[in-house]
């Protein structure tokens, strides 16, 4: 049985706790590896190694730090397909989807390569008599990222690339469900020239997380996962004087206006609702057709598409999506479908009984489609994180705006319409952090920031883009005056510009 340890001090090390987690093959349900769970002392050792390595890394000029990231990009590109296959084998997403996971992560690394420009401060000559003012951005020190199972390549790169570019050392605690790709990314960073100890990977569970949250040497923590855990990480980190950016769950709505291109809308719902078996924080899980006629047309076109979804093993290049991450998660998603039926929603397409010949023990589930879902139902209120789409019929546009705006989650939302005025009004008024116009999964490109509102995000700064540079640095402002411009005598009042 393959055993996965940790990556500390530039090399793979075995775990010493004697505690392990199972890494499953989602296609078969079989255990394919064991991952070591770190003890507090192992996490503490990784932090100490990072703290020792960070000052030297920070002293390297930003352009040379960027060159390490550029070399890392080159190495990842050379192993691109292999990384995607490894990711797919542990997560269950299709090979094509896994390649997208790697690519979207690399795009943030590419953004971080612009760090010489991104770290530029401000300068004001002659701000006062013989006085110059300027600001500089400096690294925080040792920072940490706690990342989820659903994007085991992308989100670790979203976290560590800007942090390293800014001159920090980084501790990564990836999901214990699919840890192999994060471990390999760490090896490739060292091969690209990152000094040993600047990036360390500790695998584990809550014990490892709590150590990162309470150790005073960790100056900032980034997290992606469920809202309950995001809130816990945020409050605990803040209580220990750390910066925190924590992203939680979602219930992303897609509004379909009567004038929308219905075929385009159905294509968008199929891809955004069922891609990656719905295990995406940006998945569309609620369709909101406006008006009875729109809803009837949408359901007529949508139902047969859901019924014809091709579900297969992650190795099947023709599959629309593969298995879910674990048997436990599969059963949880099925229980939500059971709940929706009990709550009175109309189950138009039932995928609970799906079985794949030759993979009967795999974590597969067919697409499910509910109609006549109402806002008081738990299947509407709660994140299901599976291939389940709920249709909530809105009587008019105003109701369609209210639904996502009043939901406790505020991650992503989309509107499909041909009317520019309607789209512009929706973008302005909807109380959600990321908005798509005729674009179902509005994940911003790397040079904009990613983050949701309300219980989808905790903290003031978002992921990647300019916010990442602000999050991983502290601003130092300098007021300078040289002796030739100094008058004799003491000054006893506060300096002003009068």
Q: Are residues 209 and 315 in the same domain?
A: no
High-pLDDT (> 90) share of the chain, %: 95
pLDDT for residue 485 is more than 60: no
Q: Are residues 23 and 110 in the same domain?
A: yes
Among 430, 330, 340, 426, which Cα is nearest to 391's?
340
Taking a C-beta distance cutoff of 8 angstroms, is the pair 372, 295 a contact?
no
Which ranges of 327-377 does DSSP label H, i.e. alpha helix?
327-343
Q: Report the alpha-carbon distance of residue 362 to residue 30 in Å, rounded.
A: 8
Angle between helical axes of 206-214 and 227-239 (0-180°, round to 10):
30
* Any domain includes 485: no
pTM of the model: 0.95
Mean pLDDT of 165-180: 98
User: What is the radius of gyration, based on Cα positions, of the chain?
Assistant: 25
pLDDT digits (tens, 9 = 90+) for 69-86: 999 999 999 999 999 999
- Sign of the C-alpha dihedral, residues 347, 352, 357, 359? positive
Q: Report the alpha-carbon distance of residue 243 to residue 402 in Å, rounded.
A: 33
Q: What is the pLDDT of residue 486?
A: 58
Q: Report the alpha-carbon distance of residue 239 to residue 234 in Å, rounded.
A: 8
- Domain holding 222: CATH number? 3.40.605.10
Whose tokens are 């219980």? That residue is 455
* Any domain includes 228: yes
pLDDT for residue 494 is more than 90: no
Q: For residue 305, how far is the Cα from the chain centroid?
A: 28
Q: Are residues 161 and 59 in the same domain?
A: yes
Q: Are residues 203 and 278 in the same domain?
A: no
- Domain holding 402: CATH number? 3.40.309.10
pLDDT digits (tens, 9 = 90+) for 288-312: 999 999 999 999 999 999 999 999 9
Q: What is the pLDDT of residue 483?
A: 77
DSSP letters spanning 253-298: EEEE-TTS-HHHHHHHHHHHHHGGGG--TT-EEEEEEBSHHHHHHH
Among 356, 373, 374, 377, which Cα is nearest to 365's?
356
Whose tokens are 């690399």? That residue is 106
* Any domain includes 65: yes
pLDDT digits (tens, 9 = 90+) for 366-401: 999 999 999 999 999 999 999 999 999 999 999 999
Q: For residue 352, how far is the Cα from the chain centroid?
A: 28
Q: Report the alpha-carbon distance of residue 210 to residue 237 in Å, rounded.
A: 9
For residue 10, what are the contacts with CB-CB under 8 A and spacing of at least 6? 190, 195, 196, 197
Q: For residue 73, how far is the Cα from the chain centroid?
A: 20
Q: Helix or strand or coil: residue 431?
A: coil
Q: Are residues 295 and 432 in the same domain?
A: yes
Cβ neighbours of 82 (radius 10 Å): 10
pLDDT digits (tens, 9 = 90+) for 184-220: 999 999 999 999 999 999 999 999 999 999 999 999 9
Q: Report the alpha-carbon distance of residue 252 to residue 258 in Å, rounded.
A: 20
Q: Are residues 62 and 85 in the same domain?
A: yes
* Any domain includes 450: no
pLDDT for residue 181 is more than 70: yes
For residue 433, what are the contacts with CB-CB under 8 A and spacing of at least 6? 410, 411, 412, 451, 452, 453, 456, 457
Among 285, 287, 405, which Cα is nearest to 336's?
285
Mean pLDDT of 355-372: 97
Mean pLDDT of 442-458: 94
Instruction: Work out the mean pLDDT of the chain and round it to a whole number.
Output: 96
Q: Report the alpha-carbon distance of residue 370 to residue 306 in Å, rounded.
A: 11
Q: Are residues 189 and 257 in the same domain?
A: no
Among 85, 110, 109, which Cα is nearest to 98's?
85
Q: Are residues 463 and 413 in the same domain?
A: no
* Any domain includes 104: yes
**Domain range for 265:** 252-437
- The per-type count for the chain, helices as H runs and strands as E runs, is 16, 23
pLDDT for residue 65 is more than 80: yes
* Any domain includes 447: no
pLDDT digits (tens, 9 = 90+) for 114-129: 999 999 999 999 888 8
pLDDT digits (tens, 9 = 90+) for 253-289: 999 999 999 999 999 999 999 999 999 999 999 999 9
- Phi, psi dihedrals of residue 89, rounded to the nearest 5°: -70, -25
If you ran DSSP here, which 8-state letter would residue 321 be given? B
Number of domains in the chain: 2
Q: Helix or strand or coil: residue 138?
A: strand
Mean pLDDT of 241-263: 97
Taking a C-beta distance cutoff of 8 angstroms, is the pair 264, 416 a contact?
yes
Cβ neighbours of 486 (radius 10 Å): 11
Q: Report the alpha-carbon distance of residue 112 to residue 471 in Å, rounded.
A: 13
Q: Are residues 70 and 200 in the same domain?
A: yes
Segments of 50-187 assigned E as strands: 123-128, 131-139, 142-146, 169-173
* Any domain includes 488: no
Mean pLDDT of 336-364: 97
Q: Are residues 66 and 186 in the same domain?
A: yes
Residues labelled catalytic = 281
Q: Are residues 171 and 316 in the same domain?
A: no
Q: Are residues 233 and 126 in the same domain?
A: yes
Q: What is the pLDDT of residue 137?
A: 96
Taking a C-beta distance cutoff of 8 angstroms, is the pair 384, 333 a contact?
yes
* Any domain includes 298: yes
Cβ neighbours of 195 (radius 10 Å): 16
Mean pLDDT of 98-114: 98
């Amino acid at each position: 049985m393959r055993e996965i340890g940790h990556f500390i001090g530039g090399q793979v090390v075995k775990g010493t706790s004697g505690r392990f987690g199972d890494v499953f093959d989602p296609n078969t349900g079989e255990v394919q590896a064991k991952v070591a769970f770190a003890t507090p002392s192992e996490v503490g050792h990784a932090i100490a190694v990072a703290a020792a390595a960070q000052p030297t890394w920070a002293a390297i000029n930003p352009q040379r730090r960027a060159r390490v990231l550029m070399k890392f990009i080159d190495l990842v590109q050379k192993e691109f397909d292999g990384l995607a296959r490894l990711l797919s084998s542990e997560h269950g997403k299709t090979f094509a989807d896994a390649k997208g996971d790697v690519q979207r992560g690399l795009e943030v690394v590419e953004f971080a390569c612009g760090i010489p420009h991104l770290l530029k401060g401000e300068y004001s000559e002659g701000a006062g008599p013989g006085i110059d003012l300027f600001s500089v951005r400096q690294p925080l020190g040792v920072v940490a990222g706690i990342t989820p199972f659903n994007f085991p390549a992308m989100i670790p790169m979203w976290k560590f690339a800007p942090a390293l570019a800014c001159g920090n050392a980084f501790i990564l605690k990836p999901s214990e469900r699919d840890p192999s790709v994060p471990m390999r990314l760490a090896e490739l960073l060292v091969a690209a020239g990152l000094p040993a100890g600047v990036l360390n990977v500790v695998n584990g569970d809550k014990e490892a997380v709590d150590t990162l949250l309470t150790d005073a040497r960790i100056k900032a923590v980034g997290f992606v996962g469920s809202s309950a855990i995001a809130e816990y990480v945020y409050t605990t980190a803040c209580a220990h004087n750390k910066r925190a950016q924590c992203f939680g769950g979602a219930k992303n709505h897609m509004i379909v206006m009567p004038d929308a291109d219905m075929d385009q809308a159905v294509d968008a719902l199929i891809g955004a609702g069922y891609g990656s078996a719905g295990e995406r924080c940006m998945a569309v899980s609620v369709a909101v057709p406006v008006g009875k006629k729109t809803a009837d047309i949408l359901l007529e076109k949508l139902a047969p598409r859901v019924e014809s979804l091709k579900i297969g093993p992650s190795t099947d290049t023709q599959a629309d999506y593969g298995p879910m991450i674990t048997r436990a998660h599969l059963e949880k998603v099925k229980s939500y479908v059971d709940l929706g039926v009990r709550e009175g929603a109309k189950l138009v397409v039932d995928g609970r009984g799906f079985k794949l010949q030759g993979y009967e023990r795999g974590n597969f589930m067919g697409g499910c489609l509910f109609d006549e879902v109402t806002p008081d139902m738990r299947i509407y209120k709660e994140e299901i994180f599976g291939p389940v789409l709920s249709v909530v019929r809105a009587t008019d546009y105003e109701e369609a705006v209210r639904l996502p705006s009043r939901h406790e989650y505020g991650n992503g939302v989309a509107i499909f319409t041909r009317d520019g005025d309607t789209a512009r009004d929706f973008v302005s008024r909807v109380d959600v952090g990321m908005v798509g116009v005729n674009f179902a999964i509005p994940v911003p490109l790397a040079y904009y920031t990613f983050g949701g509102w309300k219980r989808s995000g905790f903290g003031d700064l978002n992921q990647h883009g300019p916010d990442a540079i602000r999050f991983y640095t502290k601003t130092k402002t300098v007021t300078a005056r040289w002796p030739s411009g100094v008058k004799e005598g003491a000054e006893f009042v506060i300096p002003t510009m009068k």
